[in-house]
Amino acid sequence: MDDTLYKLQKLERERHELYKRASHGQLDANGRQRLSQIGSELEVLWNQHRREDAAKRWGPASMARRKNPAA
């Protein structure tokens, strides 16, 4: 989980810097593309972080039961 959180924080910092550049009119097409990529990566990482946090709190077996209520 620490690795996921580290990646989230790193991407959030990068996104912040890109937004800062954009606010000064200094963001080119590559920067805009990177912002889009970061948004997608953050979505995946936040979902992963929530799953890891739930597994840590309630155990991995509880997550499996939630996916398959019949189990």
pLDDT at 2: 86
Q: Which domain holds residue 38?
A: 2-67
Contact 41, 11 (CB under 8 A): yes
pLDDT one-digit tens code per residue, 33-71? 999 999 999 999 999 999 999 888 888 666 565 555 554
What's the total number of domains in the chain? 1
pLDDT at 71: 43
pLDDT one-digit tens code per residue, 7-32? 999 999 999 999 999 999 999 999 99
Residue 31: Cβ-neighbour burial (10 angstroms; 0-12, 13-18, 19+) = middle
